[in-house]
Amino acid sequence: MENKVYLPNGTEAQMAGYHEPQIDEFRNPLIQALPPMVSKPEIIEKMTRMPRFNPSERMLPAGIRVHLLQRLFDVYTPLPINVQVWELVHSLLIQSYVSRNPFDATYKQFVSSTGKQIIERKYNVHTTLNYRSTACAGTLIGVSGMGKSTTVNRVLSHIPQVIIHNEYEQQRFDQIQLVWMKLETPYNSSVKALCLQYFTKLDEVLGTNNLKKLVSRNLSVDAMVPYIAQSSRNVGLGLLVLDESQFLSKRGGSQLVDFLVSLINGGLSILLIGTPSSYALFEGEFRIARRLTGNKEILWNAMKNDETFRLFLEGIWRYQWLRNYTPLSDELVSAIFEETQGISDLVIKLYLYAQQFSIERSFEVITPEIIRRVAKDHFRLMKPMLDALKTGNPYKIAKFDDLRILDAKERASSPHPAPPVQKRTNGVKKETKATNPPPIIEKPKRNVDYRDGDLRRFFRVAKQENVAPETVLEREGYIDDMKVWTEGGKL
C-alpha cells in the first residue's frame, strides 16, 4: 500500500499496491491489494493501543486527574481471543475473493450473465450459473460487554475500506474495490430495512446515488435483492459485517437469513456479531446453522479468574492517577473479579470509578473495600445479572439471554443413539408353556454420571438423603421457596 487518495465525496481511499501472493490461489488483484498476512506477534503489536501516560500526571490537581481517567477507555490490550478475531476476519475476506478473480473468464461470464438477467428481470439469486462461490460465513457470539464490536472495528481499522485499481501486471484494470462494509441487523429482522441500509451505506462511502434511484422507482424487496447481489460484485465488496445478529431470532429472521445465504452463494462473505440469544435461530434450524457457521465460529464468554484475567488487568493497571500508586495484588484481583465476573467493560469502568472515588475523597489509594463500595454504588442495575453469574447456576443465568454461557461441547449431539421404538401389535399375546421357564437374570444397575445442571442428578441425591426431590431442588436454587410470598409462611 502506498498513496492515499480521496473520492469526490471526501472518502479516503488507498491506491492499490500488489504484493506477491503466498499461494497460487491468491494470485488475484483483489487479494494481492489487501494487507499481507502477518504473524501472531505482529497481530498483537498492530492491535495494541496504549494512550499516552506520564507518571508526573499523578501530581496534578484532583479536578484534572478525574478527567484523565477517561483515557482508560482508549486502552486496548489484545488477548488470545482477539487474535482469533483478527484471523477470522482476514480469512473470511480472502475466501470471498478466491473465486472472484476479475481476470478469470468463468467469473467474468457469470457477472455478465447475471447483469443481463437483472436488466431483463429474470435474475434469481438462488441460481449459480456454473459459478461456485468460495465465500463463507463466520459467527462471533459472546456475552455483552466483552468487546466484540470493538475488536472487529479494531481489526477493520487496519484494512483499507476502499482501494483504487488502475493497472495490474501491465494490464489496464480500472476498479474501485470496496473491501468491507459494516451494517446492523434491523431490530425487526426486516429484509427491506437491511436493503435500504445497505444502499444508504454504499452511497455514503462511494458517493453514489443508488438509494435515490431505488426509492424513486418504488422497487419491492424482491426487486432490490438482485441489485444488492450485483452491486456487491461491481464494487468488489469482500466482507459484509452484520452486528447485533441476535435480532435474527425474531419473527421474520428466517427470511433474512435466506437472503444472507443467497449473498454467500453469490460470492460475498458475511460475519455475524451477536449475543448468545443468536443461537435460538441456529439451534432451531440445521440448514441455517450449517450455512452461517460454514467457516468458523468464535464463542466469547466472560473471562475466568485466571492468567488471562490478570493479563487484562495488568494492561490497564499502569494507567493510575493516584498520588500513592497502588500495585496490583492478588487480593485486588479477586475483589475486582468478584464484582465484575470477568466482563471486560465492567472491569474498566470499575477501575475508573474506584480511582475517581479515591481522588475525590483524598484517599489516593485503591483497596478491596473501595472496590466493593464503588461496585455497590455504580452496578445496582446489574446486580441481578452479576449475582446470577456468581452462583454459577445455569438455571439463574439462563434468565438473562445476554449472559448465557456458551459451550461448544454441550451443544454437540449425543453420541448415543436413541433406543428403537417397539412396534405395537393388536393381536392377542399367545400363551407360552410354563415348562422350563427361562432363568431370571437381574440386569446390573447403571451408574450414570450426570453432568452439572442435569436435574436427574438431584433426584438421585434426594433418594440417597431420603428426602423429597423438591427439597434438594430448592436447596440448589432451581426452584424458589414460596414462603417469600407470605408472611411467616402464612397467608
Domain annotation covers residue 139: yes
Does one domain contain both 292 and 375? no
Is 249 a residue whose pLDDT tops 70? no
Q: Which residue has the cell 451477536?
A: 274
Nine cell digits for residue 253:
429472521
Per-residue pLDDT of 303-329, as tens digits, reads 999 999 999 999 999 999 999 999 999
Greater confidence (446 vs 138) lies with: 138
Domain annotation covers residue 73: no
Domain final position from 260, 285, 300: 300
Residue type for 94, please? I
Per-residue pLDDT of 92-116, as tens digits, reads 999 999 999 999 988 888 888 777 7
Is 2 a residue whose pLDDT tops 80? no
Greater confidence (54 vs 277) lies with: 54
Q: What is the pLDDT of residue 441?
A: 53
| Cβ(81)–Cβ(58) below 8 Å | no
Q: What share of the chain in percent tops pLDDT 70?
A: 79
Is 331 a residue whose pLDDT tops 80? yes
Does one domain contain both 295 and 311? no
Domain annotation covers residue 214: yes
In angstroms, the CA 377 to CA 243 distance is: 31
Query: Residue 472: CB partners within 8 Å, gap ≥ 6?
Result: 458, 459, 461, 462, 465
Domain annotation covers residue 53: no
In angstroms, the CA 209 to CA 288 distance is: 33
Does one domain contain both 146 and 211? yes
Is 173 a residue whose pLDDT tops 80? yes
Which region among 41-45, 153-157, 241-245, 390-394 has the lowest average model confidence (pLDDT)?
390-394
Task: Quote the domain boundaries for residue 486.
Answer: 451-491
Does one domain contain both 144 and 202? yes
Rounded mean pLDDT, 389-418: 60
Quote the pTM value. 0.79
Beta-sheet pairing, 137-142 with 162-168 = unpaired
Does one domain contain both 249 and 293? yes
> What is the torsion angle, in degrees rounded to the nearest 10, for the CA atoms of residue 436, residue 439, residue 440 and residue 443?
-150
Say if residue 415 is exposed, middle or buried (CB neighbours under 10 Å; 0-12, 13-18, 19+): exposed
Domain annotation covers residue 191: yes
Is 482 a residue whose pLDDT tops 80? no
Does one domain contain both 273 and 169? yes
Query: Residue 75: CB partners within 8 Å, gap ≥ 6?
Result: 49, 50, 51, 315, 316, 319, 348
> What is the pLDDT confidence band of residue 394, given thresholds at 50, 70 and 90?
confident
Which region among 241-245, 379-383, 420-424 has the lowest average model confidence (pLDDT)?
420-424
Rounded mean pLDDT, 69-85: 95
In angstroms, the CA 31 to CA 152 distance is: 20
Query: Three-state secondary structure along 427-448?
Result: CCCCCCCCCCCCCCCCCCCCCC
Does one domain contain both 295 and 313? no
Q: What is the pLDDT of residue 416?
A: 38
On average, the pLDDT of the chain sits at 82
Rounded mean pLDDT, 187-209: 90
Is 418 a residue whose pLDDT tops 60? no
Beta-sheet pairing, 162-168 with 171-178 = antiparallel
Q: What is the pLDDT of residue 335?
A: 97
Is 410 a residue whose pLDDT tops 50? no
Residue type for 208, please? T
Q: Please, which contacts does 194-198 make with residues 24 or more away whose CB atoms are closer than 8 Å?
A: 194/256, 194/259, 195/221, 195/224, 195/225, 195/228, 198/228
Does one domain contain both 279 and 333? no
The angle subtended at Cα 248 by Cα 245 and Cα 252, nearest 5°, is 155
Per-residue pLDDT of 419-458, as tens digits, reads 344 444 444 444 444 455 555 555 555 555 565 667 777 7
Does one domain contain both 182 and 254? yes
Domain final position from 254, 276, 300: 300
Q: What is the pLDDT of residue 427?
A: 44
Phi (first) and psi of residue 173, to 5 degrees: -145, 90
Query: Domain with 224 in it: what CATH number?
Result: 3.40.50.300
| Cβ(239)–Cβ(96) below 8 Å | yes
Q: What is the pLDDT of residue 41?
A: 95
Domain annotation covers residue 348: yes
Does one domain contain both 311 and 296? no
Rounded mean pLDDT, 19-37: 92
> What is the pLDDT confidence band of residue 123, given thresholds at 50, 70 and 90?
low
Is 120 a residue whose pLDDT tops 80? no
Does one domain contain both 210 and 341? no
Greater confidence (415 vs 199) lies with: 199
Domain final position from 267, 282, 300: 300
Domain annotation covers residue 42: no
Rounded mean pLDDT, 395-423: 53
Does one domain contain both 244 and 133? yes
Please give the order of strands across the beta sheet that includes 162-168.
4-6, 12-15, 162-168, 171-178
* Exposure b/e, 330-358, CB count within 10 A at least 16 = b: eebbebbbebbbbbbebbbbbbbbbbbbb
Alpha-carbon distances of 411 from 84, 284, 399, 407, rounded to whole Å? 21, 12, 19, 7
| Cβ(227)–Cβ(118) below 8 Å | yes
Rounded mean pLDDT, 18-30: 92
Which region among 22-31, 50-59, 132-141, 273-282 has the lowest average model confidence (pLDDT)?
273-282
Q: What is the pLDDT of residue 407?
A: 61
Rounded mean pLDDT, 133-138: 87
Is 191 a residue whose pLDDT tops 70? yes
Domain annotation covers residue 133: yes
Domain tally, the chain: 3
Alpha-carbon distances of 12 from 69, 163, 166, rounded to whole Å? 32, 9, 17
